[in-house]
Structure 1
């Protein structure tokens, strides 16, 4: 008997225990006090990054994509499903009542004589497990926390979609500018071909020079074809992000899709506060979701451990039975019974112990997933901060290169007309100009994409 009471006291102690509260900053790696790539920022990080680019067309596209994108709509449906799953998990805490009407007919043989009997029944069945130890509540808490995590996943998907739309928009703008540069290069090469052909017809140059410039013109046309193909590829990708059919018009503004020749890639917003590293775990929705899933795993482990404790249930049944359908509502024909029971698992083939070990392993899995998500979040911020400084330096250098190559190209044309340089030098000056202009456009777009990556890494809202 003392052993029984001792065992019951242990069960009561286990039943009253709850998992220790989790600390989001209980990281397996040392978190920094300041960003190593960008110094110290006391003010919070900037939010509402979309308006910082001051591009009305971009704002319209992002807001439309957040409404029409099918992947985001699927994420919203997953949130609703997770919420209803929490409702299902919590329903076990309430009494379960069922009404079972029926009709019975029997034939009885007695002493060689038979008689038939028919009766209508109207029965109510009640079952209710009293959640004395909080086992069901822990399972419900796990489902509710996972539903909250699904909501955070949805917010992360919104931010990611907005970033991808903005980056695709800038990629499309760069591709159109690259195509315009390639088209201008084809036009310039055509002028050179006519210049060399005229000199060849006058016997002032060799046939090899003409062949070289014709080859260079063909290569320029091939580059233009590739640039035009890039435009349609990026345009169709952007349309899919916007939830539109990938047709021939990649972007519409006031019903028109004509490329604006005055379009320029915007400069990244000049100032940005990265905030403190301590804010990141509380701001990024993917990190928040990972932490909530860790708490949900703790709750599932708690529920599995409390399954070892006795279960207290109430059961009841009541109703009436009568041969006449009109008489089953007579209170005098009603009968009922009510019972209370206690079930203590004794031997389950190690099923309950296996569930505990399974949930312990899941806790470790989700804990390490949270560590990985948090560490990756810090990496993305540090990487974007460092990249912005290098990209700005590269952009300034390439801007100077464009100016120098344009000046050298004009000088090369003059020198060739005067017979001071060979045709290869002239062609090389054109190639250098095209390459510098193309590289400058690419790094401008990379600067914009990196700024968006930084906003996304910091968890800034749209």
Structure 2
């Protein structure tokens, strides 16, 4: 049995494989350039690290935002109504919907920026009919001619050899991520604002109830004094007491109207936040909720990295760097591949024949030589934008620390103030009872009674306001921290 060597690959097939393999390798190499980091990436890391170094403790990489970051802290307020109000606001608030629409726009811009990495392929077809002059030189040629072009495919592809298009896409991607962080920030801000407004409405209603109770008490007192004056008991003193009591009642009634206006305004503000018509019918919380727990000691500064506005600022900084890199690479030569394929014939029934096929391939290399400094100005523009966003980022970091430190300090101040006002309100109520008893026995003047009642009313009102302020401050703290503890 004779062993025969296999037939070698035909020369044409070998050439075909070599050409296409080389083309595939070239395309992979060219595409690989798009994965190179943008120019200045080390500078970005250095600048961000310098900002993070301003924290009391060293910051780590950006963590993920938990789904409960915007509303997971609502349970601290001990109100079943409050989460429902926040969820309604998140679902219906027009401003938040506008922010969500900006996220959709940013995603569409990302798609547009990334389309430059792929070839552009278009298709076209045409049909024409022309007539030559009747006195043409060559007789026998039909003066009317047809031309049919079909299945035309036009290819155009700018090879991203330097990664300019990839940098443009990176800038758009970072911008899209910044828009998403802006949505998270708007959602958290809306939740905090809704809580604070609902608390303000409960505060206004509580103060209104106190004012109405104060009016009722003073009306009763005025009735007693008027009866005394009618009976002729010490007429001069009784007349003075009645006048003072009437003035005090009028002031109390004025306070009721003022607090009604405040409650109505706050109610309509809350309805607007909830995405509804401000009809002034929202019932709100009914009463001030109570906090279930205090603030844990030793909150790490890394918690601030959850803040969506800081994350958005960092993403905008990355977008500016990628845009600067793309502007620099725009000064380099551009390489473009073009090609087309189709069929053409004078007879429509012959257009499907192989001999009707036409095609062409081409390569273009372009280099801008002079544009009056346009490209360099573009680089300077993007570099200036980068430095602007860097300083804005630095300001946002300092603002974040200020907001957290201020809210933490205010928590302690308000807690101590609330404790002192509770004692003051208790003593004022006791003084009011003693003054009333002494007045009924004729041992004190009506001015003493009116003064002690006003002090008791003011103490209860101030205590209510401080309790509400502490609740609003807790919501502000969660906003400053970017979520729950």
Whether the TM-score (by the shorter chain) exceeds 0.5 is: yes
Partner secondary structure for residue 319 of structure 1: strand
Residues paired across the two proteins, number:
430
Q: Which residue of 2 aligns with 1:169?
A: 198
For the 8 Å contact 1:305–1:356, the answer to whether it is kept is yes
**SS in structure 1 of the partner of residue 279 of structure 2:** coil
Counting only pairs closer than 5 Å after superposition, residues 58-207 of structure 1 correspond to structure 2 as: 58-109=82-133, 111=135, 115-122=143-150, 123-204=152-233, 205-207=237-239
- For the residue of structure 1 that corresponds to 2:132, the secondary structure is strand
Asked if 1:209 is matched to 2:233, the reply is no
Larger Rg: 2
1:415-434 correspondence runs (5 A): 415-434=438-457
Distance 1:57 1:141 in 2: 44
Residues 242 and 354 (structure 1), Cα distance of their counterparts in 2 relative to 1, 3 Å cut = same
Shift of 1:131: 0.3
Shift of 1:17: 6.8
Matches of 2:76 and 2:37, distance apart in 1: 53
Structure 2: which 5+ residue stretches go unaligned? 1-32, 59-68
What residue number does 1:343 align with? 366
For 2:41, what is the secondary structure of its paired residue? coil
Q: Which secondary structure state, in structure 2, belongs to the residue aligned with residue 27 of structure 1?
A: helix
Question: Does structure 2 retain, via aligned residues, the 8 Å contact 1:268–1:448?
Answer: no
Question: How far off its partner does 1:437 sit?
Answer: 0.9
TM superposition shift of 1:46 = 12
CA distance in 2, matches of 1:323, 1:402: 103
Moved more, 193-202 or 327-336: 327-336
Structure 1 unaligned residues grouped into runs of 5+: 1-11, 35-44, 254-258
Aligned to 1:31: 55
Instruction: Check the 8 A contact 1:83/1:147 in 2, yes or no.
Output: yes
Task: For 1:268 and 1:29, locate their aligned partners in 2 and report how far apart those are by CA, in whole Å.
Answer: 35
Shift of 1:349: 1.8
How many Å apart are 1:112 and its aligned residue?
5.1
Q: How many Å separate the matches in 2 of 1:388 and 1:448?
A: 9
State which of 261, 264, 268 in structure 2 corresponds to 1:236. Answer: 268
TM-score, scaled relative to structure 1: 0.88
Residue 380 of structure 1 aligns with which residue? Answer: 403
Shift in Å at residue 148 of structure 1?
A: 0.7
Distance 1:370 1:436, change over 3 A: same
Change (3 A) 1:99 1:302: same
1:399, 1:440 within 8 Å by CA — same for their partners in 2?
yes
C-alpha deviation, 1:121, in angstroms? 2.1
Q: Which moved more, 1:108-117 or 1:189-198?
A: 108-117
1:3 is matched with none
Deviations 1:337-394 (A, max 9, x none): 0001211111122111110011011011111110111110011001101111111111
Q: Distance in 2 between matches of 1:300 and 1:461?
A: 35
Report the Cα distance in structure 2 between the residues aligned to 1:29 and 1:78, rounded to whole angstroms.
32
Residue 459 of structure 1 is matched in structure 2 by 482
Q: Residues 264 and 314 from structure 1, CA distance in 2 versus in 1: closer, same or farther, beyond 3 angstroms?
A: closer
For residues 197 and 252 of structure 2, the distance between their equivalents in structure 1, rounded to whole angstroms, comes to 25
Corresponding position of 2:379: 356
Structure 2 CA distance, aligned partners of 1:54 and 1:325? 80
Aligned partners of 1:46 and 1:272 also within 8 Å = no
Please state whether the residue corresponding to 1:385 is helix, strand or coil: helix
> What TM-score do the two structures reach when normalised by structure 2?
0.84
- Could you tell me how far 1:417 is from its partner in structure 2? 1.6
For the residues of structure 2 that align with 1:118 and 1:400, how far apart are their CA atoms? Answer: 103
Residue deviations 1:272-322, cap 9 Å, x none?
Answer: 356212342x21111011011001100000000001111111011222223
Greater mean alpha carbon deviation, residues 146-155 or residues 103-112: 103-112
Secondary structure at 2:406 match in 1:
helix
Deviation at 1:431, TM superposition (A): 1.2
